[in-house]
A and B are shown apart, each in its own frame.
Chain A
Amino acid sequence: MLRFLALRGVAFVATMWGIITGTFFLFRLVPGNAAVFIVGSDVTPRAIAALTKSLGLDKPLYVQYIDYLNNLGHGSFGQSVVFGSGLASALFARYPVTVSLALGAIVIAIGIGVVFGVASSLHPNSVFDRTLMGSLISLGGLPNFWFGVMLIAVFSSGLHLLPISGGSGLSSSILADVTLAAYPSAILARLVRSSMLEVSTSGFIVACHARGLSRIRVLVRHALRNAMLPALTMTGLLLGYLLGGSIVVEDIFTKQGIGLLLLQSVNAHDYSMIEAITIVFSGSFLFLNLLADMGIWFLDPRTRTGAQSR
């Protein structure tokens, strides 16, 4: 356990360091002086020079890099030059909106994926199976931004059933979560279906039936438990889609998360904010991915022996 955690922890830190370094140098590629972007070119050269100095942009690149890492180590992303406040506070005030959006969507996606995947696998290639999978995959293949707008048009503007945004409780975010969950649901359902079909023909399931266990018990305790492992791995990978997709959903449903903040920062040329949000998004993705891997480690004893023998 400790060994596994240590290995994954080191890999996590190394990847994060790489991403931080990569984004740092990516944003230093911006042509021209960042200070000019912020105040505009119609101020005096002295004002620009002063801002350049206060931002530390006059120092050599490697000094800026060390300063940046040092600040990050103290939990500071620096100042937001456009929004006029500490980056970290502005960012983390909005962070929970994005995370709850993504987590809500992943719960829906796993629910739909497991239920529909299992239901579909019970009678493979039947009309029911084909219709269910066909419609789910077509829905998942829609552009998410367009799907969200269509949901608003039908359920909020057309039928007045659900609010677009605002309000409180579950109903306010259900359209947003459904928009975000469409693609992962389709992927997970297809995966659960195919791994259920694969597992159900394997020897130990036949043996379970032969021992006279009830159908439902075999299905849930034995088949599904094994079929869930690939689905869990896939869930970890889909988190990248969910976090990125939350930008789209926050834009459509005007939710004040860090995705919307990212778009506002791009339009305002606030590079330090874009940089910070990129790092936070990647960190969240890698961390949740790590959690998914640990989940598999707990569920599947085979990965444990594999980790020890390494």
Chain B
Amino acid sequence: MAVRGESDVSREHRHSTADGSRPKTFWSQLFVAARLKSRFREPGLLWGLLLLTGVIGFVLLAPLLSGYDANGINLASPFAGASAQHLLGTDELGRDTLTRLAVGGRTSLLLSGTATGLAAASGIWLGLLSGYIGGALDLALQRLVELVIGVPTLVLAIAVVSVIPDRTLGVVLSATVVAIPAYVRLTRGVAVSIVATDYVVSARVLGARTARLLRRYVLPNALGPLLVQISFGLGQSLLLISGLGFLGVGISPPQAEWGTMASDAIQYLSNDPLLEILPGVAIMLVTLSTNLIGDGLRDALDPRSHSRVSR
């Protein structure tokens, strides 16, 4: 910064000198653009977002366009192969596979999205409390988190589902409970390290309230890692929820859901393997996209991965 003339020339090539506090010149604006672009230069992030948007678009639009009812039984044409009427054929009860796949996807994605949202919201709150207030509350919460982590994920999920009479509610709650510890630990870690920094201490000296400190300083610092965790968590929730469905302890048929569809199709593998393959591929595409987004976000937001990307 001391040698302004020099850096003006070299800035075109060196992205690493980007600095938020620079006065707004043409060059600095170019920099902001380049920096934004470099975030999206993570090809994985872009592909992941496109893939996820594509899947969501499919599950929302396909049933509207196909004109079939996902549970509309037509016993006259079971296992009809792909045709103009049924682009992906029909299942054992003559239901349109394409429509069922999309409607099943709505259920799977909506439930895993809800669980991820609930887990993130409650986990972040608990993590903030634990890290900021500390003391006995922190100790108690951390022991509680250890207990939850001490039970294998799927076992815990099945135990929670078994005590809740309503299956849909049980599935969402179980996926929420198993996901919470990751958010608590992550937020708590950031809170503990940020609360001790000089700028937070000075903000408190200036009279800032707890809510402001958490919102203004702690949360923004945790936002990057949290977004990464939410992205991975969405894929994991989908795997868990469809896994529960597959095992017969999740969403109950005839409601379409990718896991139960995969489970139902096993006995018809010789009639139409597509019925088995499609739900699995759909789940795989979503988890692939969430992993790509998570990895991409981590690389884009991690200050160490690029030479110096300011937040």
Contact = CB atoms under 8 A, between A and B. Distances in A.
Interface of A: 15, 18-19, 22-23, 26-27, 29-31, 138, 141-147, 149-150, 153, 157, 240-241, 243-245, 247-248, 251, 262-263, 266-267, 269, 271, 274-275, 277-278, 281-282, 285-286
Interface string B124-165: 000000000000000000010011011111111011111101
Contacts of A269: 162
Residues of A contacting B: mostly: helix
14 contacts: A18-B146, A26-B159, A141-B288, A142-B280, A143-B283, A143-B284, A144-B243, A150-B276, A157-B269, A266-B158, A266-B249, A269-B162, A271-B163, A275-B159
Contacts, number: 122
Contact of B246 (A138, A145, A274): A145
A251 B262 CA distance: 13
A267 B248 contact: yes
Interface of B: 143, 146-147, 149-156, 158-163, 165, 239, 242-243, 246-249, 259, 262-263, 266, 269-270, 273, 276-277, 279-280, 283-284, 287-288, 291
A262 B158 CA distance: 8
B262 A146 contact: yes
Residue of A157, A248, A266 most packed against chain B (CB within 10 A) = A266
A15 B145 CA distance: 11
A95 B260 CA distance: 27
A52 to B, nearest CB: 18
A81 B270 CA distance: 39
Nearest to A239: B152
A15 B273 contact: no
Residues of B contacting A: mostly: helix
Given A19-B150, A248-B246, A251-B247, A274 B259 contact: no
Nearest to A242: B152
A149 B159 contact: no
B153 A240 contact: yes
Given A19-B151, A240-B152, A286-B150, A143 B280 contact: yes
B276 A153 contact: yes
Given A263-B249, A266-B162, A274-B159, 16 more contacts: A19-B151, A23-B159, A142-B284, A143-B242, A143-B243, A143-B262, A143-B283, A145-B243, A145-B247, A146-B284, A157-B270, A244-B154, A244-B155, A251-B247, A278-B151, A285-B150
A26 B155 contact: no
B284 A285 contact: no
Given A27-B163, A30-B163, A144-B243, A285 B151 contact: yes
Nearest to A145: B246
Contacts of B248: 263, 267
B280 A243 contact: no
Contacts of A22: 147
Closest 5 CB pairs of A and B: A244-B154, A146-B280, A244-B152, A240-B152, A145-B246
Contacts of B284: 141-143, 146
Contact of B163 (A26, A146, A244, A251): A26
Contacts of B163: 26-27, 29-30, 271
B151 A150 contact: no
Contacts of B158: 247, 262-263, 266, 274
A248 B154 contact: yes
Residue of A144, A241, A278 most packed against chain B (CB within 10 A) = A278
B276 to A, nearest CB: 6
A141 B165 CA distance: 31
Given A22-B147, A263-B248, A266-B162, A145 B262 contact: yes
A26 B283 CA distance: 31
A240 B262 CA distance: 24
